Amino acid sequence: MTDLAELYPALGYNFKSKKLLKQALTLGFENHFAGYERLEFLGDRVLGVIIADMLFRTFSKEPEGDLARRFTALTRAETLACVAKELQFELYLISAVPSNKPEPTTAVLSDICEAVIAALFLDGGLEAAKQFVARYWTPLMEKLSAPPVDSKTKLQEWAQARKLSLPVYAQISREGPDHNPVFIMQVSVEGFAPVSASGKSKREASQAAAAEFFKILENK
């Protein structure tokens, strides 16, 4: 097994309880209590608070809407997965069932990244988590010279420019356990077939559905 202590320099922190880091990197427990899922729930909230604080202080003159768009870009699954790949978390993943090790998909790597943030928070307090997030998210924040236009806003403006009715979003289903749900949202645009996508929240799934609408449109 790869020594998890090898991650300490990249994390900028030496764990007092390596068990927490091991739990954050462990996949496949049937009862979801020994693996990363509960930590991912906490890490999502810790990351959100830290990113919101960083944005609030860095962009002191921006309105709430611009801050929200930056926040969405910095906390989406693809961003977290990129950080996880930079740290090569996939090399340290532990499977509770060695013969059935899940593929390190974007969703899995995103969740693992949040679980590691939770482990840092529990072992070293908010400061340990803040130092880690600042180290890897500050460069990402600096790349966003202007607030990104999210997919829902883009789709709304696209529809308005063509004098179509505003896009309508509807929840199709909610799957998975309460601590780690997956929402399926559908977007309907006048004159086009409905498009669905999934996400860890209604908001994320709606954004994904809007983005998928444009992908389909571009391929026509």
Instruction: Report d(CA 171, CA 39) in Å as an integer.
Output: 26
Is residue 36 within 8 A of residue 112, CB to CB? The reply is yes
Residue 114 catalytic? yes
Residue 64 catalytic? no
Instruction: Report d(CA 111, CA 39) in Å as an integer.
Output: 9
Residue of 37, 44, 123, 204 marked active site: 44
* CB proximity list for 129: less than 8 A, separation 6 or greater: 46, 47, 50, 117, 118, 120, 121
Instruction: Report d(CA 138, CA 140) in Å as an integer.
Output: 5
Residue of 40, 111, 114, 123 marked active site: 114
Beta strands in 29-144 (DSSP E): 94-95
Which of the residues are catalytic? 44, 114
